[in-house]
Structure 1
Amino acid sequence: MQQSRACLLFVFTSVLLIMALSTPMSVSAQRRKPVPFDSSYYQTYPKLITGRVFFSQKYTSLRLRNTDNNRTLHYQPNNALNAGVGVTYGILTLNVGVPLRFVDPDNKDKGKTRSLDLQSHIYARKWVGDIFGQFYKGYYLRPKGKAAAPDEAYYTRPDLKVQMIGGALYRLFNSRQFSYRAAFLQNEWQKKSAGSFLLGGEVYYGTIRGDSALVPSEYADVFPQQDVRKARFWEVGPGAGYAYTWVLKKHFFLTGSATVNGDLSFIKEFEEDNTSRTRVTFSPNLIFRAVVGYNSDTWTANISWFGNRVSVGSATDDYRYIVSTGNYRLTVAKRFNPKGILRKRLRNAEEKLPIISTEGK
């Protein structure tokens, strides 16, 4: 029931963000002018469908860090590699994947993870938005053998839960020359190197909890949060960054993007004896994107990595909680021209979604 409500909240938030990014300010949508861009820097394909096949792996990991001695406990979910297909037309993208659990030979030794991982990345012409709904239960400790019993390969915590919802929104200042879509949606082609500054903010709410202390008893003397079994937090703050695509011979490219955020972190910790502590701290967070690949008029292939690092404060300055969310992906995509009744249906959709149309200058 909780995951169902979370899924509905995620969909509702996604719809609101899409409406905010795509709704024209004028009353008549038909009179809205297309957003101009420099066609000598990148090319758009508003009338073509982009179809793709991909392999990806999402994750939401947890680190418990002792800031005094820089020791870290790294909890990782037992997520499988996914294989899938997807399609993009204009601002609309749909991807569907299935897990390939037979790929990892140590899968059974890492315990079982139940997860609902909702990540939505929206690349409008002048804005980039990220929405997160992370609901994980069941983790194992890395590296292999750390804190594990003699007859076990990994220390597992089937009771450990990490839940986080939130999002980030940034203004893209050089949308005339720089395209996020070329790297991440494959429906545009960046032909010349260009970059852009980013400015915006983010907000998150989350919980970290287990049936017992988050720190294994073997490391109770090493980590100050040895008695903490639950932490509840929310964070909000502004951020700024930069994105750049380097293009070699028009076809080969490398895209990098990073935003650094300075958040106020409101944290409440609960110990095993049911006592609690509350504190407000400052948390530096990071969202980054990296893509390397090949692009052309019809075919494109790339390897991408999206990452979101949320650093959560604690009741003292001795330790922190770090929730890392992300996605690794290998993508091969092709653009093609829709025909027949599909072309007719898409034309009708274009009239209702004028943001799909673009205009080079």
Structure 2
Amino acid sequence: MQRLQFVFYFFLLPLFCLAQKNEYGRFETRPIDDQYIIDYSDLLSVKIYGILKSNTIAHVNYQTEARVDYKPNENFNIGFGIGYKWFGADLAFNFSGVNSDDDTFGKTKRFDLQSNIYTRKFAIDVNWLKYKGYYGSNPEDYRTSFDPDNPYPIRPDIKTVNIRISALYIFKHDKFSYRSAFTNNERQIKWAGSFLAGPFFNYYKMNADSSLLPLEARPNFDTSVDFRGTQYINYGIAGGYGHNFVVAKRIYLSMTAVIGLGPEIKKTPARNGQRAETEAKLTGQLATRFSIGYNSEKTFLGLAAVGVFSGSREEEDYLERSVSNLKIFIGRRFNPPKFLRR
């Protein structure tokens, strides 16, 4: 934990030092520096895209490094989006011909709202996820006779609920643009980076009819640990850094790493002869963003990914959780019709 605290303060403390040197107020909105960013928000952007969303869990033993991973049956959805000025909307559909692997990975019922909002000064994430139906994604690690051509271990009884809200302030928002890499209504034309900081809140609960540990895997775990019905409430402050790399003013690579630190309240129900417990401790999480692509005056295309990873490794057995989405896209900008310009 001391190492995690050191990394956190390494990211967080320079933010305030850098902000004080600027001629503007610490949180004052600064105009775009056109040596670094071109604004295309007055054009109408239209795109088609494919998106893959995931919400994974794993029972992990810190001492033996053994793990049992579970994934939902991940659907690749295809859709289209439009954007103009401050407004943007994406609509995606699940095509049965693209996702026809229920016999192998089982069925997953889901409500999945993963919204990543990028304003001039903030990157805001809102997640509300309810999943039912998972499969064991690494049976080869504990079943010596597993054949990957056969169906994976299917767990239709596993249910998860995940609610997360976070906001990151972009300190150099006049030179560093998330919009250029993730919403494409701007274009980064010169390398730039920014420190980031802001609050986060996360609620998580997992339940199932039986233990997450298959019989074959149990020798490598503490079988008295059972995460069914356990609730996690985690909140705190996150700090990190993002950077956009640019080649020939059109090819870009955007990378971000943010570490969050704060109290986690863990509520464990009475199970396996043990009493219900509530404990609180300091813990961390990692949030990442990645995007690569091509962005010109009229055309843009690329790949973008956002992920959040959490789970306290101070316990011998712990529940590792992650939420992510991966999007590939291609789009075009047009002059808006007259009724939009009025």
Check whether the contact 1:50–1:333 (CA below 8 A) recurs between aligned residues. Answer: yes
Q: Deviations over 1:34-61 (max 9, x none)?
A: 8511011010023211111001100000
Which of 317, 320, 339 matches 1:319? 317
Q: Which residue of 2 aligns with 1:184?
A: 182
Check whether the contact 1:110–1:140 (CA below 8 A) recurs between aligned residues. Answer: yes
Q: Which residue of 1 aligns with 2:299?
A: 299
How many residues were matched structurally?
Answer: 310
Whole-Å separation in 1 of the counterparts to 2:182 and 2:139 = 33
Structure 2: 5+ residue stretches without partners: 1-27
Structure 1: 5+ residue stretches without partners: 1-32, 345-361
Q: Does 1:254 align with 2:253?
A: yes
Q: Against the structure 1 CA distance between its residues 115 and 225, is the aligned structure 2 distance closer, same or farther, given a 3 Å change threshold?
A: farther
Which aligned pairs between 1:2-151 and structure 2 lie closer than 5 A? 35-103=30-98, 106-143=101-138
Whole-Å separation in 2 of the counterparts to 1:103 and 1:273 = 46
Q: Deviations over 1:76-112 (max 9, x none)?
A: 0002111110111223221111123433564421111
Whole-Å separation in 1 of the counterparts to 2:137 and 2:286 = 22
Which of 307, 311, 326 matches 1:328? 326
Whole-Å separation in 2 of the counterparts to 1:278 and 1:43 = 51
Which segment is superposed worse, 141-150 or 36-45?
141-150
Check whether the contact 1:215–1:227 (CA below 8 A) recurs between aligned residues. Answer: no
Check whether the contact 1:205–1:235 (CA below 8 A) recurs between aligned residues. Answer: yes
Which of 170, 173, 177 matches 1:172? 170
Corresponding residue SS for 1:136 = strand
Q: What RMSD, in angstroms, separates the aligned Cα atoms of the two structures?
A: 2.2
Whole-Å separation in 1 of the counterparts to 2:248 and 2:336 = 29
Check whether the contact 2:46–2:333 (CA below 8 A) recurs between aligned residues. Answer: yes
Corresponding residue SS for 1:37 = coil
Cα distance, 1:73 vs. partner? 1.0
Q: Against the structure 1 CA distance between its residues 213 and 36, is the aligned structure 2 distance closer, same or farther, given a 3 Å change threshold?
A: same
Amino acid at match of 1:132: N
Corresponding residue SS for 1:167 = strand
Check whether the contact 2:68–2:138 (CA below 8 A) recurs between aligned residues. Answer: no
Whole-Å separation in 1 of the counterparts to 2:88 and 2:67 = 38
Whole-Å separation in 2 of the counterparts to 1:328 and 1:281 = 32
Q: Against the structure 1 CA distance between its residues 319 and 85, is the aligned structure 2 distance closer, same or farther, given a 3 Å change threshold?
A: same
Cα distance, 1:173 vs. partner? 0.5
Whole-Å separation in 1 of the counterparts to 2:157 and 2:70 = 12
Q: Against the structure 1 CA distance between its residues 263 and 224, is the aligned structure 2 distance closer, same or farther, given a 3 Å change threshold?
A: farther
Q: Which residue of 2 aligns with 1:24?
A: none
Which aligned pairs between 1:123-272 and structure 2 lie closer than 5 A? 123-143=118-138, 153-226=151-224, 228=226, 229-270=228-269, 271-272=271-272
Check whether the contact 2:70–2:134 (CA below 8 A) recurs between aligned residues. Answer: yes
Corresponding residue SS for 1:40 = coil
Whole-Å separation in 1 of the counterparts to 2:219 and 2:236 = 34
Whole-Å separation in 2 of the counterparts to 1:200 and 1:256 = 18
Check whether the contact 2:70–2:135 (CA below 8 A) recurs between aligned residues. Answer: yes
Check whether the contact 2:41–2:86 (CA below 8 A) recurs between aligned residues. Answer: no
Whole-Å separation in 2 of the counterparts to 1:245 and 1:58 = 24
Whole-Å separation in 2 of the counterparts to 1:256 and 1:223 = 36
Q: Deviations over 1:231-267 (max 9, x none)?
A: 1110011111000001011111100011111121111
Whole-Å separation in 1 of the counterparts to 2:70 and 2:259 = 24
Q: Against the structure 1 CA distance between its residues 144 and 49, is the aligned structure 2 distance closer, same or farther, given a 3 Å change threshold?
A: farther
Q: Against the structure 1 CA distance between its residues 296 and 46, is the aligned structure 2 distance closer, same or farther, given a 3 Å change threshold?
A: same
Q: Which residue of 2 aligns with 1:4?
A: none
Check whether the contact 1:147–1:155 (CA below 8 A) recurs between aligned residues. Answer: no
Whole-Å separation in 1 of the counterparts to 2:32 and 2:326 = 30
Q: Against the structure 1 CA distance between its residues 150 and 257, is the aligned structure 2 distance closer, same or farther, given a 3 Å change threshold?
A: closer
Check whether the contact 1:127–1:169 (CA below 8 A) recurs between aligned residues. Answer: yes
Cα distance, 1:226 vs. partner? 4.8
Identity %: 29
Q: Against the structure 1 CA distance between its residues 306 and 173, is the aligned structure 2 distance closer, same or farther, given a 3 Å change threshold?
A: same
Which segment is superposed worse, 253-262 or 269-278?
269-278
